[in-house]
Amino acid sequence: MTPPPTDERDFLLRNIWYFALPGIRLKRGAMVAKTLLGEPLLFGRRDDGSVFALRDICPHRGIPLSYGAFDGREVECRYHGWRFDGDGRCTAIPSLCEGQDLDVGRIRVKGRPCREVDGNLWVWFGDREPPPEGDERDVPRVPGIGAPGPRLVETMAFPCFVDHAVIGLMDPAHGPWVHKSWFWRSRRSIHEKAKAFGPVPYGFQMRRHSPSTNSRAYKLVGGRPSTEITFRLPGVRIEHIAAGDHTLVNLTTVTPVSWTMSEVNHCVYWTMPWLSALKPVLRPYVRRFLGQDRDVVVQQQEGLKHDPALMLIRDADTQARWYHQLKREWVRSEEEERPFRNPVKECVLRWRS
């Protein structure tokens, strides 16, 4: 990926699962081309529903395989018709004549481990094998929903380096300035907050609590809601809201596309049937809300072009600080081949918003 990073904090994590795309965007027998972490990838879903990810470059002459065809089993390159299965193995070279004994099975397109979890595709970026299922480094799960996939998904491009998108989304102090919608909260309602935080595997968590009474959106859930917000590397935020017998979960992920582009996916899962009827109303709100975060990041880029020194203040930016610490610790523990030591300690953070 070019250009190279100028800031030593600008690096991307490896040997970790990244959110790739919502499962509903990949039908059986179809393929989707998508660049992630600077790498062109081809995602496909076979006729049996299983998914795969290949490097979107034909090993013959380099044309993206996504220009070719997929029959639900094999990808056919549009240039000379070489065929590849979902594991990247070449199965046919149409130009070969009898006696031209080329071992086609030895020709490979590089594949990436790809899994569908809770209705979304995740892709493994690393030189090592992914961890076994259920391991702490496995794909993060959406707890307690019992649905095959999200009921609402919004995808949005954030034209910035991944860290700015992650920090912008977790930032507890921007709400009253950036999200000025009537359905959220007003600036007049700013008050001091104190929230308990603690470590979770590869991240941190705002412990379960009753949300601020100035968050109108929570009223949608009904009952007396309580919420718990978990962040974990590489850029996954899971907000779990429980109210009575019902649950609503927001899964927000940030995946780097390049050094200057990130993709945010916001998935909403819920158990209350009546909320599904409100989906047409809900979708524009989600889009507007995410769009507000995106717009401020777009404006921020104008200043960041000049490479200014930035500040992280207490306690409003403590989560951002943890994010940088977690990233650095991830890399160090990998390099030193030792267990990850979470830098986050149990504490209470206070800020006004």
Compare residues 83 and 185 and give the one whose CB is closer to ligand FES: 83
63 binds, among Fe ion, ligand FES, none (CB under 5 to 8 A by kind): ligand FES
- Asked whether position 293 contacts Fe ion by CB under 5 A, the answer is yes
User: 293 touches which of ligand FES, Fe ion, none (CB within 5 to 8 A by kind)?
Assistant: Fe ion
Angle subtended at Cα 25 by Cα 240 and Cα 184, rounded to the nearest 5 degrees: 35
CA distance 190 to 254: 28
Contact between 74 and Fe ion by CB under 5 A: the answer reads: no
Name which of 84 and 270 has its Cβ closer to ligand FES.
84
Whichever of 69 and 313 has its CB closer to ligand FES, that residue is: 69
State the binding partner of 28 from ligand FES, Fe ion, none, CB within 5 to 8 A by kind.
none
Binding-site member from 11, 15, 72, 79 for ligand FES (CB under 6 A): 79
Q: Does 60 bind ligand FES (CB under 6 A)?
A: yes
Number of residues that bind ligand FES (CB under 6 A): 8
What is the C-alpha separation between 125 and 128, in angstroms, rounded? 9
Cα end-to-end span (Å), the chain: 38
Q: Which two tokens stand for residue 101?
A: 């004994």
Cite the beta strand spans of 201-245 per DSSP E. Answer: 203-209, 226-232, 236-243
Residue 108 in the binding site for ligand FES (CB under 6 A): no
Stretch that binds Fe ion, among 50-58, 246-254, 266-274, 293-301 (CB under 5 A): 293-301
Q: Record the tokens describing residue 158, joined without a space.
A: 């954030």
User: To the nearest whole angstrom, how small is the minimum distance from the Cβ of residue 31 to ligand FES?
Assistant: 15
Residue recorded with tokens 């490097």: 55
CB of 61 to ligand FES, least distance (A): 3
Q: CB-based contacts of 15: which residues, under 8 Å, 6+ apart?
A: 124, 125, 126, 127, 128, 334
Greatest pairwise CA separation for the chain in angstroms: 81
Assign residue 294 a region: left if phi > 0, alpha if psi is -120 to 50, beta otherwise?
A: alpha
Binding of residue 154 to Fe ion (CB under 5 A): no
Say what angle helices 318-335 and 162-170 make with each other, to 10 degrees: 140
Our finding on whether 286 is near ligand FES (CB under 6 A) is no
**Alpha carbons 238 and 230: distance in angstroms, whole number:** 5
Answer positive or negative: Cα dihedral of 268, 274, 280, 284: negative
79 binds, among ligand FES, Fe ion, none (CB under 5 to 8 A by kind): ligand FES
**Residue 60 touches which member of ligand FES, Fe ion, none, C-beta under 5-8 Å by kind:** ligand FES
User: Does 64 contact ligand FES by CB under 6 A?
Assistant: no
58 binds, among ligand FES, Fe ion, none (CB under 5 to 8 A by kind): ligand FES
Q: Is 73 in the site for ligand FES (CB under 6 A)?
A: no
Q: Which of residues 39-58 bind ligand FES (CB under 6 A)?
A: 58
In the complex, least distance from residue 23 CB atom to ligand FES, rounded to whole angstroms: 28
Indicate which of ligand FES, Fe ion, none lies near residue 27 (CB less than 5 to 8 Å, by partner kind): none
Three-class SS state of 72: coil
Q: Could you say which of Fe ion, ligand FES, none residue 61 binds, taking C-beta under 5 to 8 angstroms by partner kind?
A: ligand FES
Instruction: Give the start-end residues of each E strand in the chain.
Output: 16-22, 31-36, 39-45, 51-55, 69-70, 74-76, 83-85, 90-92, 111-112, 114-117, 120-125, 152-158, 192-200, 203-209, 226-232, 236-243, 246-258, 261-270, 347-352
Q: Using CB under 6 A, list all residues that contact ligand FES.
A: 58, 60-61, 63, 77, 79-80, 82
